[in-house]
Amino acid sequence: MFGDMMGMMGKLKETQKKVEATKKRLDAVHINEISKDGGIEISITANREIKKINISDTLLEDKKQLEGFLIETLNKAIQNATSVNEAELAAVAKEGMPNIPGMDSLFK
């Protein structure tokens, strides 16, 4: 029993290292989102760090429209980045989890 516990602890530490490596790798995964009118382009990492925002000069003339498109595009970019982030981290965590009855349903 003690050996099983030590094995599980080792596997959990290994999984934690893989999770940290995955988080670092996700810094290099960029998601690009463009507003429905094409006037705003946002680049965000899978760790949800905004890297670039390009705004068309034509949108600078209408503050309300700019704000609306900016909010919509940022939210969509963050949602997409979150989906990628969660899927990648869940895959690493599931791969490293010991076979405990009922635990597999947590990652579906």
pLDDT tens-digit readout, 10-63:
777 888 888 899 999 999 999 999 999 999 999 999 999 999 999 999 999 999
Closest CA to 88 of 26, 28, 30, 16: 26
Instruction: Identify the pLDDT of residue 107.
Output: 47
Domain count along the chain: 1
Residue range 74-99: mean pLDDT, rounded:
87
Copy the structure tokens of residue 12. Answer: 């959990």
- Domain for residue 92, yes or no? yes
Parent domain of 86: 16-107
Q: Residue 48 phi/psi, 5° resolution?
A: 65, 40
| Higher-scoring residue by pLDDT: 8, 19 | 19
Q: Residue 52's beta-bridge partner residues?
A: 43
Instruction: Tell me whether strands 30-34 and 50-55 are parallel, antiparallel or unpaired.
Output: unpaired
Non-local CB neighbours of 32 within 8 Å, separated by 6+ positions: 41, 42, 43, 77
Instruction: Identify the pLDDT of residue 66.
Output: 96
Neighbours of 50 (CB within 10 A): 13
SS3 60: helix
- Domain for residue 1, yes or no? no
- Domain for residue 11, yes or no? no
Q: Residue 66 phi/psi, 5° resolution?
A: -60, -50
CATH code of the domain in which 62 resides: 3.30.1310.10
Instruction: Identify the pLDDT of residue 22.
Output: 93
Instruction: Identify the pLDDT of residue 28.
Output: 96
pTM of the shown model: 0.75
Instruction: Identify the pLDDT of residue 2.
Output: 57
